[in-house]
Structure formats: C-alpha cells, structure tokens
C-alpha cells in the first residue's frame, strides 16, 4: 500500500503546530491564585468528547503529586486544575501521555459569561411573570367581573413590576443607549410599547377599567428574550470554540541576563536590547537579530512563504515565526508592542473601515419602522380626539395601536433566522462570530484567497515515496523522527515507525540536515550540497537527499498539498456569481502553479500585508463587496479590511479573531457552504420582515378603529411570532438539501509542488 | 371569591418557589456544562464520594 494514500497522512499532519507544549514557566504565568497556596490553571483540551475522556483525564490528573483536583468541562472543552506549591505539576505532559493535546488560552476569555447568566435570569423571571399573568388574564377574558376583575388586574400589575424592572431593563438600557447616540434600534419601539402598555393598564386598573394589557407587555418581553438568549448562546458557543484552538503567540520568553542568569519574562516586559533564548519548537516572541546559533524558521504564518527559511548569525527574525530545528539566541530589536505581530494588529485596526459603517438590516428597518409606528399612534390619538373629544378613549386606542404594532415578530424576525442558520453552519464545522456576518457575506461579489495555508495546507508532503527504496525510506524516517523540520515530519509520517530504530548518535545541523551513524556508515539527510554531491548512477536529484558516506542514495520531492475540495469550492463560488482571485506573499511561480491547477484566472503574487489591504480597498472603492479568506499573520490586516472574512482554524490567533467566520474542518467547501446558507438566511430574513409588515397592515386598521381588546392583541402577537419562527425553521430543510447536493469530500488529486530552497 | 384569597397566593408562592429554585441552580453553576453532565452519569465512581 502506498503510504501516501489520500487521507492516510492527514492525522499525522495535524500535530504540526500544536505539538509545541507550553513550558512550565508559561503555565505558571497563566495560572491564577485561589489563596491558601492553591493555584488554578485552565487548559483548553479540544479532543475531549465523551464520558471516558472525562474519567481518564480526571483520574490521571488527580493522581499527580500536588494536584488538588481536576474538573473537565465538556461543553467548553476545558479542564481546570487546582494545584499547590511553587513547581507546576506535569499535567500537560500527563495529558499528552493520555493522547490529549492541551494548550493555554487567554485568561480574559476564561471569565464567566455574565451576559448569558443575566439573560437566562431575565428569561426565567419574564417566563414566571408571563405565565402567572396569563393565568389571571384568561379568567378575566372568560368573564370575571367587578371586584374579581379588579383584584386580578391588581395582582397582575404587582407581578409585572419585577418582570419589567429586571427583564425589561435589558431593553430599556439598550434603547436608551441608542437614543442617546442619536440612533434608532429595534429596542426603542419595544421599550416604548411595553412601558406605555404598562402605564395605561395601571391607569385602567386604578379606575376599574375593563381592559388591561399586563399580559401583552410581559409575554412580549418573554418571547423577545428567548430569541435574544438563543442568539447569544449560539454566538458564545462559536466564540469559545474559536478560543479553544491553540494559542500561537508566545506568552513569555527566557531572558538571558548580562551576568548569565536566566529569567522567564512575560512578552510585554521584554525590552529592546535584551538577549532571548529560543529553544527549537518555540515561537519567537518579538522581532530580533540572531546573535548565536543557526536554525530553520517556519514563516508560513508571517509571510505566506511555504518553505522554511534558514537563518544564521546576524540575520533578523520576525516575531511570530516558529523556530524549527536549532536553539537560537536573539537580541530583541523591538518591544512586543512594536513587533511584527502588533504591527499587523494595528494595520488591521486601521483598515477596519467598511465594517464599522455597516448597519444591520434589522436596524435599518427599525429606523424606518419606529417613526412610522409612533406617528400612526399619534395620528390615531389626534383623530379620535377630533372625532369624539374623549381624551381617555383616544389615549386608550392610541396605546392599543402601539401595543399591536410592538415589533414582536419584527424583533424575532432577524435573530431567529440567524440562530437557525448559525446552528446549521456550526454542525458543518463553521463558526459564525457575529450576526451581521451572514448579512454581509450574502452581499459579496468578489472572493480573495490567500495561498499558503488557505488554498494549500501549508504543509509539505512527500510525493515520491513509492519510488524510493523502502530500506532507504525506513532509515530516512528513523533519522527524520528526531527533527521538527516540516520536511522531516513529512518523511517520518510517510514511513511510519516499523520496528526498532536502527540509527545511532543522531545530530541535527540546523539549516542543513540530520546526521547519524548506522552499521559503521555515516548517513546524512538534508540539503544536497551539505549531505553530499556525488550521485551513484543517476544525476537528477532534487534538493533534499539521503546520503551514505557522502554518496546520494535517495532523493525526496515535496509538495504543498491543496486543501480538500479547493477546486470544487472555487467552481461553486464561480457558479454563485462570485469572482475568485488569489493574493499571496509567495513567489509568482509558486502562485502560478496553484492558480493554474485550481482554475483561478487572476492572482497577485509577492504582496506585502499592506499591499493586500490596498488591493482590497481599491476594489471596495469600485463598489465591490470583497470576501477575504486567509490564515496568516500577514493576511490579518486584509481580513480586517475586507467586507467580510473567513479564516481556517489553523490560522494565526489574531487572524482568527479578526475573521467573521472560522471553519474547523480541512475542506475548503466551507466557504461556498457559508455563502449559500448566508444567502438563504438573507432571503428568509426579508420574508420574515415582509410577514411582520403584512401582519401590521392587517392589525393596525383594527386597532385604529378601536376594536382591539387584550384578547385580540394576545392572539395576534402570538400568531405572528409563531409564523415568523416557523418560517425561520424552513432553513433547516434548505441546508440539508444543499449538503446532499454538494460534491462529496473528494480530495483533489492535483497538487502544487514546493521546491526546497 | 373567598377561595381566591388563599388560592392566588398559593399559586404565586409555588411559582416563585420554582423560579427561585431555577435561579439557585443557575447560580451554583449547574448549567455551566450541560453536555458534560449528560455524559457524567455514565462514569462509575467506585463508591468513593467526590472530593
């Protein structure tokens, strides 16, 4: 069997970046003290998924010395560990032995979600009040008279007070905020309607009136809060899923003082001029210059270059690159806040133009809706005043108009569709960070793709394994297993580990390759000129070779594999009338090959991060709505500048944070799927708004003519809400159809090659 | 009418009891890991109370 059968090596590739374990100093820096010498560390463990995982992790960690207890949270895929003492117990290693990758995450995101608990509490209070008031209202509707009715109204009024104060507070605050900044949102008519309905009902109750609308004002809040809570839960789930991915920026670094002592400092405390020790496998925290050592750097996240760069004494290195093979000592040339990574964040923030001005469709509708409704109510009041001169009657009818038009259906119309759509995308491994993201995605007409890491996987793969002598491949794999270099990993992953290692005294020569002895011969795996130039027989050998005593015995050819379904995804985008282009920091030759195999007609190579932003901004000026799909640090400003952005889960931290969508699976078909769902969601939202408006055109005349009783208001509002929810649920059917129509996850056989530098 | 004097307070009290029970459960963190709680019933604890 060919070991490079499609899919076989993917599992091995997964640990590319995440296998860099956080050091114990880093863990200590990230832990927080609980007092009494006990500290707590929260780790993200994305692989946890069942009861057996929970038990294995909690038992294993509980057995460690100085660990007080461990608790797995399966919903957020985290484990929190309480431990004693100064030394960090080896829990990351223990998790690693069980087969779970663990990583630290930003402490700020570990905070409890206050908004969610407030929303759930509000729903509970509103639900309690709505249920009880409805119970009393039904008695009134079924004929309670006189003192009984007054008693019921008074009890209702009392129950409604805490509900309005607590549950309604969310809407009152939001409406007040909007008004104070001169804006209008959906919460303004809701707040006005609810509070006026309550005030009028109270007046009626005091004056022994027939009609009180306590049930309407509280059940309205209850329904709207349910929609808002679902919306929040969905978004929160996406956010924690995204935050649970590995954190790529270094949190701290080992500083070498002038007197030879070493100190682990947080990245923020590193000043220009200090010397830093960077072990193989660590990320370089700040920009610097190499003062000792030679190594290979993985720059794929920073510059988009797919091949590791060899660096030596005196060369400058950028923060965010990954040190692959040899230990380095660098002198920091910039503080973290002036380093490449921070520079990218600044560029991104500066570029964030189109998004800030975007107004959601719900807000645009409410900007028109609220004045019309309030004007109608006012005109009704004026009309009845003129016709009858009875101000009490005119007031009652005007408020009934406000209650009946209170945008229950309209308030639910948008969030409920977004919740259903986000849920469908979540099930396909796509996270939606923001409700407006789907609206913006639905409008795009141009898609920009980054090359390395987005269209391709950014990981080399051995292509000529079948033509290499299996004995040679086994020796090469034994040697390669000792190195982190991507090419070594590709070789090691390809051959698997069959039997005992046969090689001895393996040493890695950063920038060149690996040397080992076996059976009295010296073997070298690495760069051609270093390992040996003389070929036995043939002369057509590539850049990476295996030599035995200086004679080439095997050569290895690597390629950067395309992401699964890349070609199909681009075809689907073209069919959806979206023009596809490629922007890359890589060379024109490398870009050309990928573009040709994928059928992309237009690409721009060798772009700097600011160049990508400029390109997108030029398109935006011409009226195009641009979608940016990218993963690197160098794409981050472009992700911010585009109308809408999508990043794969393997993207750099800041990139993932900047993107509106993050897809977790390897297949690029996530992009057309997200577009498809967004467009359908957009259509449903417009339908829902139309339903809400039709409902109003029927209900408002009845209200203006003074025929609305609390019973009619309750029935009309529930009916319109149910209609809107039912319409939103149709999205499920749509998407299922779309999934079965989409081509199955076939891996495209076409590949682009990577030439070793 | 007289029955209402104690029926309404009784109904409200029971409702409030349920509400406060829910709020207590929410505050004590029982809703923080619903997925995990569903799976945990499958774990055998070898008769040892949890620490």
Q: Could you read off the pLDDT of B17-40 as tens digits, one per residue?
A: 999 999 898 888 887 788 888 888
List CB contacts (< 8 A) between B40 and chain A.
51, 54
Asked if the Cβ–Cβ distance from A54 to B23 is below 8 Å, we say: no
List CB contacts (< 8 A) between B43 and chain A.
51, 54-55
Please report the number of interchain residue pairs, chain A to chain B, with beta-carbon separation below 8 angstroms: 54
Which structure tokens are listed for A40? Answer: 């707590």
Where is average pLDDT lowest: A187-196, A212-221, A302-311, A692-701?
A302-311
Which structure tokens are listed for B12? Answer: 């409200």
Residues A614-633 pLDDT 10s: 888 888 888 888 899 988 77
Residues A468-478 pLDDT 10s: 777 788 888 88
Q: Looking at residue A123, what is its pLDDT?
A: 92
Residues A281-298 pLDDT 10s: 777 888 888 888 888 887
**B48 — pLDDT class (breaks 50, 70, 90):** low
Which of B17, B18, B22, B49 should be substituted to probe chain A, the one whose Cβ sees the most A Cβ atoms within 10 Å? B22
Where is average pLDDT lowest: A383-392, A544-553, A624-633?
A544-553
Residue of B nearest to A78 (CA): B33
Q: Looking at residue A129, what is its pLDDT?
A: 92
CB A476 within 8 A of CB A556: yes
Coil/strand/helix, residue A351: helix
First to last CA, chain A: 30
How many degrees, rounded to 5, is the angle at CA A487 between CA A481 and CA A493?
A: 50
Task: State which H helix or E strand residue A35 sits in.
Answer: strand A32-35
What is the arithmetic mean of pLDDT over A732-736?
Answer: 61
In angstroms, rounded to a whole number, what is the distance separating the alpha carbons of residues A390 and A59?
A: 76
In sequence order, the 6+-apart residues with CB closer than 8 A to the CB of A372 are none
Asked if the Cβ–Cβ distance from B11 to A73 is below 8 Å, we say: no
Asked if the Cβ–Cβ distance from B15 to A128 is below 8 Å, we say: yes
Q: Looking at residue A124, what is its pLDDT?
A: 92
List CB contacts (< 8 A) between B1 and chain A.
147-148
Q: Where are the alpha helices (DSSP H) in A648-755?
A: 653-658, 670-704, 710-741
Which structure tokens are listed for A269? Answer: 């405390």
Given a cut of 50, whether residue A46 has pLDDT beyond it is: yes
**A746 — pLDDT class (breaks 50, 70, 90):** very low
**A382 — pLDDT class (breaks 50, 70, 90):** very high
Q: Looking at residue A12, what is its pLDDT?
A: 34
Residues A392-406 pLDDT 10s: 888 888 888 888 877
In sequence order, the 6+-apart residues with CB closer than 8 A to the CB of A631 are A301, A450, A452, A453, A454, A458, A647, A648, A650, A651, A652, A655
The shortest C-alpha distance from B48 to chain A (Å) reads 12
Residue of B46 and A701 predicted with greater confidence: A701
What is the arithmetic mean of pLDDT over A122-151?
Answer: 88
B-side interface with A, Cβ within 8 Å?
Answer: 1, 4, 8, 11-12, 15-16, 18-19, 22-23, 26-27, 31-36, 39-43, 51
Which of the following is catalytic: A450, A560, A635, A653?
Answer: A450
Task: State which H helix or E strand residue A582 sits in.
Answer: strand A579-583
What is the arithmetic mean of pLDDT over A694-715?
Answer: 83
The shortest C-alpha distance from A33 to chain B (Å) reads 20
Asked if the Cβ–Cβ distance from B19 to A117 is below 8 Å, we say: no
- Average of per-residue pLDDT values in chain A: 78
**A537 — pLDDT class (breaks 50, 70, 90):** very low
Q: Looking at residue A655, what is its pLDDT?
A: 76
CB A608 within 8 A of CB A623: no
- Which one, of A408, A77, A419, lies nearest residue A229 by Cα? A419
List CB contacts (< 8 A) between B7 and chain A.
none
Task: State which H helix or E strand residue A60 sits in.
Answer: helix A51-63
**Inter-CA distances, A546 with A451, A526, A541, A551, Å:** 30, 7, 10, 8
Residues A231-277 pLDDT 10s: 787 777 777 666 655 454 556 778 888 777 777 777 777 888 888 88
Q: Looking at residue A750, what is its pLDDT?
A: 35
The shortest C-alpha distance from A51 to chain B (Å) reads 5
- Alpha carbon A751 to its chain centroid, in Å, reads 28
CB A68 within 8 A of CB A38: yes
Which structure tokens are listed for A550? Answer: 């200086």
Strands A252-256 and A103-104: unpaired
Q: Looking at residue A243, what is its pLDDT?
A: 64
- Domains along the sequence of chain A with CATH: 10-110 (3.30.70.100), 112-244 (no CATH), 252-282+286-338 (2.70.150.10), 429-458+562-678 (3.40.50.1000), 464-556 (3.40.1110.10)
Residue of A162 and A8 predicted with greater confidence: A162
Q: Looking at residue A127, what is its pLDDT?
A: 92
Asked if the Cβ–Cβ distance from A131 to B51 is below 8 Å, we say: no
In angstroms, rounded to a whole number, what is the distance separating the alpha carbons of residues A292 and A449?
A: 38
Q: How many C-beta neighbours within 10 Å does residue A256 have?
A: 19
Which structure tokens are listed for A143? Answer: 């004929």
Q: Looking at residue A613, what is its pLDDT?
A: 86
Task: State which H helix or E strand residue A25 sits in.
Answer: helix A24-30
First to last CA, chain B: 54
Query: What are the residue ranges spanned by the domains of chain B?
Result: 18-43
ipTM of the complex: 0.81
Residues A50-77 pLDDT 10s: 888 888 888 888 888 888 888 888 877 7
Give every strand in the sheet of A322-323, ordered side by side: A309-311, A295-298, A322-323
In angstroms, rounded to a whole number, what is the distance separating the alpha carbons of residues A411 and A187?
A: 8
CB A51 within 8 A of CB B43: yes
pLDDT over 70 for what percent of chain A?
Answer: 85
Q: Looking at residue A306, what is its pLDDT?
A: 67
Coil/strand/helix, residue A22: coil
Handedness of CA A205, A207, A209, A212 (dihedral sign): negative
Residues A422-449 pLDDT 10s: 888 877 888 887 778 888 888 889 999 9
Residue of A336 and A602 predicted with greater confidence: A602
In angstroms, rounded to a whole number, what is the distance separating the alpha carbons of residues A275 and A256?
A: 5
List CB contacts (< 8 A) between B12 and chain A.
132, 155, 159
Q: Looking at residue A383, what is its pLDDT?
A: 92
In angstroms, rounded to a whole number, what is the distance separating the alpha carbons of residues A393 and A704?
A: 12
- Rg (C-alpha) for chain A, rounded Å, is 32
Q: Looking at residue A157, what is its pLDDT?
A: 92
Coil/strand/helix, residue A564: coil
What is the arithmetic mean of pLDDT over A100-111?
Answer: 62
Coil/strand/helix, residue A74: coil
Q: Tokens 């209609």 map to which residue?
A: A723
Which structure tokens are listed for A180? Answer: 């104070």
Q: Looking at residue A386, what is its pLDDT?
A: 92
In angstroms, rounded to a whole number, what is the distance separating the alpha carbons of residues A466 and A460?
A: 16
**A4 — pLDDT class (breaks 50, 70, 90):** very low
In angstroms, rounded to a whole number, what is the distance separating the alpha carbons of residues A224 and A47?
A: 36
Residue of A176 and A608 predicted with greater confidence: A176
In angstroms, rounded to a whole number, what is the distance separating the alpha carbons of residues A425 and A412?
A: 20
Residues A138-151 pLDDT 10s: 888 888 788 888 88
**Inter-CA distances, A447 with A433, A621, A675, Å:** 19, 15, 11
Residue A231 a catalytic site member: no
**A541 — pLDDT class (breaks 50, 70, 90):** very low
């Amino acid at each position: 069997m060919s070991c490079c059968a499609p899919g076989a090596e993917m599992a091995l590739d997964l640990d590319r970046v995440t296998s860099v374990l956080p050091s114990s100093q880093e863990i200590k820096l990230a832990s927080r003290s609980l007092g009494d010498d006990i500290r707590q560390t929260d780790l993200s463990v994305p692989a946890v998924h069942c009861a057996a995982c929970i038990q294995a992790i909690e038992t294993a960690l509980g057995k460690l010395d100085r660990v007080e207890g461990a608790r797995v949270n399966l919903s957020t895929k985290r484990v929190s560990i309480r431990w004693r003492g100064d030394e960090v117990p080896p829990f990351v290693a223990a998790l690693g032995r069980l087969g779970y990758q663990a990583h630290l995450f930003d402490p700020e995101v570990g905070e409890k979600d206050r908004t969610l608990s407030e929303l759930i509490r509000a729903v509970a209070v509103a639900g309690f009040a709505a249920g009880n008031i409805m119970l009393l209202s039904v008695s009134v509707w079924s004929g309670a008279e006189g003192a009984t009715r007054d008693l019921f109204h008074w009890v209702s009024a009392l129950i409604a007070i805490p509900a309005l104060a607590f549950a309604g507070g969310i809407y009152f605050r939001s409406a007040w905020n909007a008004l104070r900044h001169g804006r209008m949102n959906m919460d303004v008519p809701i707040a006005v309607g609810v509070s006026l309905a309550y005030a009028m009902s109270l007046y009626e109750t005091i004056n022994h009136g027939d009609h009180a609308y306590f049930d309407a004002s509280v059940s309205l809040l209850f329904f709207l809060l349910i929609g808002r809570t679902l919306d929040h839960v969905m978004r929160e789930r996406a956010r924690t899923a995204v935050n649970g991915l590995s954190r790529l920026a270094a949190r701290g670094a080992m500083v070498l003082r002038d007197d030879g002592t070493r100190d682990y400092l947080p990245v923020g405390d590193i000043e220009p001029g200090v010397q830093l020790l960077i072990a193989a496998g660590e990320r370089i925290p700040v920009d610097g210059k190499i003062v000792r050592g030679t190594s290979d750097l993985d720059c794929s996240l920073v510059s988009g270059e797919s091949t590791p760069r060899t660096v030596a004494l005196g060369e400058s290195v950028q923060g965010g690159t990954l040190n692959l093979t040899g230990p380095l000592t660098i002198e920091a040339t910039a503080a973290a806040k002036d380093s490449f990574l921070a520079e990218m964040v600044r560029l991104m923030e500066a570029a964030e133009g189109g998004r800030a001005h975007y107004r959601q469709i719900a807000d645009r509708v409410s900007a028109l809706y609220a004045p019309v409704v309030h004007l109608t109510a006012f005109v009704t009041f004026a009309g009845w005043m003129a016709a009858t001169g009875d101000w009490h009657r005119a007031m009652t009818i005007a408020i009934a108009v406000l209650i009946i038009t209170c945008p229950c259906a309209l308030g639910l119309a948008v969030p409920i569709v977004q919740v259903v759509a986000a849920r469908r995308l979540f099930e396909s491994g796509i996270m939606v960070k923001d409700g407006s993201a789907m609206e913006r995605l639905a409008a795009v007409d141009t898609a920009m793709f980054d090359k390395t890491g987005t269209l391709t996987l950014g990981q080399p793969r051995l292509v000529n394994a079948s033509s290499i002598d299996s004995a040679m491949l086994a020796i090469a794999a034994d040697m390669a297993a000792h190195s982190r270099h991507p090419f070594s990993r590709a070789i090691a992953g390809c051959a698997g580990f069959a039997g005992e290692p046969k090689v001895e005294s393996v040493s890695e020569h950063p920038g060149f390759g690996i040397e080992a002895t076996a059976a009295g011969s010296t073997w070298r795996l690495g760069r051609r000129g270093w390992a040996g130039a003389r070929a036995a027989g043939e002369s057509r050998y590539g850049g990476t070779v295996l030599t035995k005593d200086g004679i080439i015995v095997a050569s290895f050819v690597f390629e950067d594999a395309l992401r699964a379904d890349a070609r199909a995804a681009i075809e689907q985008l073209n069919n959806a009338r979206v023009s596809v282009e490629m922007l890359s920091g890589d060379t024109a030759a490398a870009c050309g090959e990928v573009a040709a195999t994928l059928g992309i007609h237009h690409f721009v190579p060798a772009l700097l991060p600011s160049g990508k932003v400029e390109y997108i901004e030029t398109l935006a000026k011409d009226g195009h709505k641009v979608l940016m799909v990218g993963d690197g640090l160098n794409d981050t400003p472009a992700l911010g500048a585009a109308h809408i952005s999508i990043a794969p889960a393997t993207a750099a931290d800041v990139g993932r944070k900047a993107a509106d969508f993050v897809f977790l699976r390897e297949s690029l078909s996530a992009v057309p799927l997200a577009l498809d769902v967004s467009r359908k969601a957009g259509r449903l939202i417009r339908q829902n708004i139309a339903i809400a408006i039709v409902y109003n055109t029927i209900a408002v005349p009845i209200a203006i003519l003074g025929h609305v009783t609390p019973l009619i208001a309750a029935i009309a509002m529930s009916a319109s809400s149910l209609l809107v929810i039912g319409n939103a649920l149709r999205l499920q059917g749509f998407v299922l159809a779309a999934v079965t129509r989409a081509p199955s996850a076939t891996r495209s056989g076409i590949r682009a090659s990577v030439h070793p530098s | 009418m007289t029955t209402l004097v104690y029926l309404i307070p009784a109904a409200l009290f029971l409702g409030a009891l349920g509400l406060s029970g829910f709020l207590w459960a929410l505050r004590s963190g029982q809703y923080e890991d619903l997925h995990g709680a569903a799976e945990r019933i499958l774990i055998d604890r070898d008769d040892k109370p949890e620490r």
